[in-house]
Amino acid sequence: MANSVQELIASRASKELEDGQVINLGIGIPTLVAKYVHTSNIFFHTENGMLGVDDVNEEDIDPNLVNAGKIPVGETRGASFFNSADSFGMIRGGHVDVAILGVLQVDESARIANWAVPGKNIIGVGGAMDLLVGAKKVIVTMTHISKDGKSKILKDCTYPITSTRSVDTIITELAVFKYINGQLHLVELMPDITLEQVIANTEAHFVNSL
Amino acid sequence: MKIYESAREALSCLESGQTVMVGGFGLVGGPLTLIDTLVELDVTDLTIISNNLGEKGEGLGKLLNQKKVKKAIGSYFTGNRDVGEAYQRGELEIELLPQGTLAESIRAGGAGIGGYYTKTSVGTDLAEGKETKVIKGEEYVFEEALTADVAIIRAHMADKLGNLIYYKTARNFNPLMATAAKTVIVEVDKIVEVGELNSDVIVTPHLFIDRIILAKKILTQEGVVEHG
């Protein structure tokens, strides 16, 4: 179950979305973003071959209608289904407006690591690399600090990077950062958070643009 | 194109050492009847091209545990812990591809294309050892197309010619794999007379399909069950 920190991050991420956009949501916190979107004019895309993902009630669950996290979903009016090559053609061809992704680490140049951990078997990548390369805008939703208390916003990622592309926006439970002209800018503090808390928990250098 | 009574007969063409494409995204859209029969056959050293390798002890996971899989080519094996363990023990080769590359490589294989350049994975560990090329100022990595000896896939309905339609997100890799193997075997929920499928909604034209069986296993909310 999602906790209040995850809900806070998801709710803030939803404010980045604009009417008419096509959005791809990753697994974890990104999935929660959909419930904070209150317009029918935003279209959710999922890698396994669907545009027009919607919530589903327990009694309407169809085992053959799932999202990329293999979670049952519903379909909106005007939804469509397509094969995996067409689905990734949409992503890689630059037709998806925004990807919202979970990450393990992000570095000073807004490059992310979210697919492999050193010392563990590297046996899964899914659509992460495709989304990084193809989405017009990439928003990262993440907790600011790892379970062992270390900053996840680092000078350099210590885990293998997912792409050489820099993400556009980073949203944590402490702050919002934007990557502008090759620098990470702190643009917003989350409610009841101080600048000192953000500085203390962020290893990467950033420009204070509050 | 021929309609077969049993999955075992339909799979009779399969031999040890061959490359097999298996449709589905996890269990959704997977040819569950054909997979369960494949597990019973005396064929080994298979190369499996599939997004996942089943779940722990389920579907293609059974085939892995029987040590019949020599190599797996796919994008996401993390869901089945046995895959990592077999890989660690040196019993299984893995070729990990970004999911979009997996799909596009199968599409290319089916369309007679030898390979193509993509920006996906450039500068990452997955591009190591692969040729790169700068096109219009941007770096791309070369990916070879994928083809197979046999594809086993799932569709919703077939007519007696082999034209196919699919159901919701059970489509995924199935129409691509239908184009990319020498022998394509499909299991379907229903076989109808020629002319009963609207020509405008047929997704896979019959020329791609070699063998059809009726599905005996279907995915329900309670898991995989026998039917019919």
Q: Which domains does chain A have, with CATH numbers?
A: 4-208 (3.40.1080.10)
All residues at 6 or more sequence positions from B160 whose CB lies less than 8 Å from its CB, including other chains = B3, B191, B192, B193, B194
The whole model's pTM is what? 0.97
Torsion of CA B115, B118, B120, B123, to 10 degrees: 100
Q: What are the tens digits of pLDDT across the range B141-187?
A: 999 999 999 999 999 999 999 999 999 999 999 999 999 999 999 99
Residues 6+ apart with CB under 8 A from B212: B1, B2, B3, B4, B10, B158, B162, B185, B186, B187, B188, B191
Buried b / exposed e over B175-206, threshold 16 CB at 10 Å, is bbbbbbbebbbbbbbeeeeeeebeeeebbbeb
Residue A35 vs residues B70, B169, B191: alpha-carbon distances, Å: 44, 21, 40
CA distance B92 to chain A (A): 11
Nearest to B119 among A81, A82, A133 (CB): A133
- Residues of chain A short of pLDDT 70, as ranges, are 1
Q: What percent of chain A is predicted at pLDDT more than 90?
A: 92
Mutate to test the interface with A, among B58, B120, B140 (most CBs of A within 10 A): B120
A22 touching B, CB under 8 A?
no
pLDDT for B55 equals 85
pLDDT for the residue A40: 85
Closest Cβ–Cβ partner in B26, B172, B221 for A49 = B172
pLDDT the model gives residue A122:
83
Q: Is the pLDDT of residue B228 over 70?
A: no
Structure-token pair, residue A47: 């890698």
| B104/A88 Cβ within 8 A | yes
Going from the C-alpha of B163 to that of each of A92, B98, B155, the distances in angstroms are 29, 30, 10
Contact B176 A83 (CB under 8 A): yes
- Find the CB nearest B168 among A62, A84, A130: A62
Note whether A48 contacts B: Cβ–Cβ < 8 A. yes
Per-residue pLDDT at B125: 96
Task: Identify the pLDDT of residue B144.
Answer: 98
Please list every residue in chain B whose beta carbon sits closer than 8 Å to the beta carbon of residue A116: 125
CB contact residues (below 8 A), chain A span 98-117, against chain B: 116
- B98/B123 Cα distance (integer angstroms): 13
* SS3 category, B24: coil
SS3 B100: helix
The CA radius of gyration of chain B, in Å to the nearest whole number, is 18
Contact status of A88 with chain B (Cβ, < 8 Å): yes
C-beta of residue A108 within 8 angstroms of C-beta of residue A184: yes
Each residue's pLDDT tens digit, A72-101: 999 999 999 999 999 999 999 999 999 999
Domain residue extents for chain B: 2-115+145-226
CATH number assigned to the domain with residue range B2-115+145-226, chosen from the 4 options 3.40.1080.10, 3.10.310.50, 3.30.565.40, 2.40.30.10: 3.40.1080.10
A125 Cβ under 8 Å from any chain B Cβ = yes
Contact check, Cβ <8 Å, B124/A160: yes
Q: Tally helices (H) and strands (E) across chain B.
A: 6, 14
